[in-house]
Amino acid sequence: MRDIIDIADVKKRFLGHLTLTKGMSRNTAQAYSDDVDKLIRYLGDAGVGIEHATTDDMEHFVCTLQDVGIQPRSQARIISGVKSFYKFLRLEGYMDTDPTELLLTPKIGRHLPEVLTIDEIDRMIAAIDMSKAEGQRNRAIIETLYGCGLRVSELVGLRLSQLFVDERYVVIQGKGNKQRVVPISPVAIEQINLYLEQTRSRQVAQRGSEDILFLNRRGAMLTRQMIFHIVKQLCELAGVRKVISPHTLRHSFATHLLEGGANLRAIQQMLGHESITTTEIYVHIDRTRLRDEILTHHPRNNPPRNA
């Protein structure tokens, strides 16, 4: 074990380990680093160096997370980040033991994400103001998000060279730089082609964004925040009362595929999930929606009122 740990240097090396070795996105790696900062502050207040922390210290840290009202799902994420950090310290020879080895992760109940109906998606699309310069672009964005089930990061980074419109598929660079091939619907292709003809072909792309499909007015790649704003605004204009985000369109894509009879393995491949367990949540959504439909519409669940 090394005698002295330079926190700043170790954290920098840890970030590099997560992005280069583990293949994490920069945002995910930064989230892990932020979680480690929480532990470092806690241990610092207790006068304990990270190299001298014990299992008891870790358990007290988790209790502190509970005491301040952090939810189990967030606790689990923080613990995962801390565990990864100490595994890294052992791997690099900073420590001989791992105080997080016996640390338990809180049980998390299955959370079913919000899903839009086909009618709600149609209403959002109808709410797009096609008279505005960005109208056709936004139409193509919504059709691509919903038609391909993309993550918002995959959408904003989508490149012209990844589109194969004649073959009707798109190559997606997903998490961990893993590529997958996703079919693209004729409707999405039509809207993308219209956007390319009417808007994109007339724009001067900024340096570094020449191959990016969706650009802002200045010719630069859109931000994730901009996509959130577009989706939220269309949701409000369409009168959709659900709390949604761009990811809701991804959930809706998967749920509607399953309802239409698609194979769960095929959905897993299109979404880019490493584990089928992640994809199985849509089976639960499908069952929940079926139960709600029965409770709402079956005559035995809606007895006539007494005269």
Q: Which residues are catalytic?
A: 151, 175, 247, 250, 273, 282
d(C-alpha 183, C-alpha 150), whole Å: 11
Tokens standing for residue 91: 């791997």
Q: Exposed/middle/buried for 20, CB within 10 Å: 0-12, 13-18, 19+?
A: exposed
**Which regions of 178-273 does DSSP assign to beta strands (E)?**
179-183
Give the closest residue to 148 by CA, choosing from 233, 229, 213, 220.
Answer: 213
Distances (CA, A) of 60 to 46, 52, 56, 227: 11, 14, 6, 40
For residue 190, the one-letter residue type is: E
55, containing H or E segment: helix 55-67
Give the count of beta carbons closer than 10 Å to the beta carbon of residue 16: 11
Task: Give long-range contacts, CB 8 A cutoff, 24+ apart: 21-29.
Answer: 22/176, 23/175, 23/176, 23/177, 23/178, 24/175, 24/176, 25/153, 25/175, 25/176, 27/153, 28/175
For CA atoms 38, 40, 44, 47, the dihedral sign is: positive
